[in-house]
Amino acid sequence: MRKPAFVFIFIAILLDMLAIGIIIPVLPQLVLNFTGGDTAHAAQYFGAFGTIFAVMQFVAAPVMGVLSDRYGRRPVILVSCFGMGLDYIIMALAPSLGILFLGRLVSGITAASLPTAYAYTADVTPAEKRAGAFALIGGAFGLGFIIGPAAGGFLGAFSLRLPFWIAAGLCIANALYGLFVLPESLGRENRSKTFEWKRANPIGSLRLLKTHATLVGLGAVMFLAYLAHQVFEVWVLYGHYRYAWDSKTVGLTLAIVGVCSSVVQMGLVQPSVSRFGERRTLLAGLVFGALGFTLFAAATTTTIFWFGIPLICLWGLATPSIQGLMSPLVSASEQGQLQGALTSTRGIAQLIGPGLFTLTFAFFIAGGAHQLLLPGAPYYLAALIIAGAVGLAAYVTRGIPARRIAPPEAEALGPAELFPIEDAP
């Protein structure tokens, strides 16, 4: 038997993100093909796809979180991985927008296990080290987006369907890896005694945030951050429309995002939290995000757009800091519910965001009576939302010490020492 260790969940998340990253460059173009090349209509359909994904996340995430609190993290993660593989097979075979829509519905359910992965991380990590651990999970996301979109863009040049088959294979491989390697992280003594629908439904899961004033405020900050993040729904369509990107350019651009994100998540978050504290790191990350979106909106060339990528990736300082502030405020048997509640807030943002940003994009590129052509409008809107999050975060964290003191040895340790694999007697 092995003690639960961070490395297992890191690899599982990495494989999931590789699968997701592979289809990013080609899914919007597949939708574009189904609409006969009409970018404005494709944006509207793509917004609907994002909305159904969000509805499923909103409903399924709290259920997954509470199930993991009751029965353990491992079975929830395994079922999800197999489900994601099925989802990509459905999309690989989709002969119409309707079947592709069904695939997004399935993916909304299966991807709802990501909060369980965060709860797993909280299970195996001391409170003072969780911001760094959540950042390394973010690093797994970044690594997935280094390799995945680049591979997806390359494979998509041969066939728009091929990346979906590769993604399905990765998900199934991930499930098999977890089946034989992934240990359970939540001991029976720390599990919830019963499964309660009043905690598992989306509204019930959000009640957990009301148990502490700081949780409510930080939950609202997370909601604004999730809402602004939905602007990436127009990333590919925006690049295609404004800069004439092809699938290879999309893949290269997202690979640059992945590199920068990995550097921030795996190299800057923990040192920043150790030196400046979670509050200052959170505020700095949000400011960088607002600046990055503003540059995206104003960029007239691909080169200028690329200069905004490091700023956007520095936005990644914020989320692990929020998670690090929130996680110690709930018990071990509520970590899954907390992550489910946060995913419910993301689900609400995903209900609003895809339509908000895709319709904004469609409106400002369609011309018409208003005669205002402003393709960068969605990114200007995202910058305003993040600016609001900065003010709210500063207010709700005003009573938190500038720097949380952790044990001296924690600051000197790297990822390998923070999350060892130890043999139990």
Nearest-angstrom CA–CA distance, 51 and 390? 26
Helix axes 27-34, 39-71, angle to 10 degrees: 130
Residue 41: predicted pLDDT? 77
- Has residue 274 got a pLDDT over 70? yes
Count of beta carbons in the 10 Å neighbourhood of residue 48: 16
pLDDT confidence tier of residue 293, bands split at 50, 70 and 90? very high
**Residue 201, amino acid:** N
Q: Which residue in the block uniquely carries the two structure tokens 């604004």?
A: 224
Q: Is the pLDDT of residue 144 over 80?
A: no
- CB-based burial of residue 183 (10 Å sphere; 0-12 exposed, 13-18 middle, 19+ buried)? middle
Residue 2, φ and ψ in degrees, nearest 5: -115, 145
d(CA 231, CA 252): 19
pTM: 0.65
Q: 3-state SS of 328-397?
A: HHCCHHHHHHHHHHHHHHHHHHHHHHHHHHHHHHHHHHCCCCCCCCCCCHHHHHHHHHHHHHHHHHHHHC
pLDDT at 1: 32
The larger pLDDT score, comparing residue 76 to residue 140, is at 76
Token digits for 412? 């000197």
Would you list the domain boundaries of the chain? 7-182+210-401
Give residue 179's Cα distance to chain centre. 24
116-147 per-residue burial string, b: 16 or more CB within 10 A, e: under 16: bbbbbbbbbbeebbbbbbbbbbbbbbbbbbbb
E strand or H helix at 207, and its extent? none
Fold for 7-182+210-401, please state it: Growth Hormone; Chain: A; (1.20.1250)
Q: What is the mean pLDDT of residues 382-401?
A: 89
How large is the average pLDDT for residues 288-302? Answer: 93
Q: Record the tokens describing residue 36, joined without a space.
A: 């006969």
pLDDT of residue 295: 94
pLDDT band at 407 (very low <50, low <70, confident <90, very high): very low
Residue 142, pLDDT score: 67
The whole-angstrom separation of Cα 279 and Cα 214 is 12
Q: What does the mean pLDDT of the chain come to?
A: 78
**Model confidence band, residue 150 (pLDDT cutoffs 50, 70, 90):** confident
Separation CA 381–CA 211 (nearest Å) = 32
Q: pLDDT at residue 162 above 60?
A: yes
What Cα–Cα distance (Å) separates residue 372 from each residue in 340, 364, 404?
Answer: 41, 6, 49
What is the band of 100 on the pLDDT scale with cuts at 50, 70, 90? confident
Closest CA to 29 of 255, 246, 231: 246
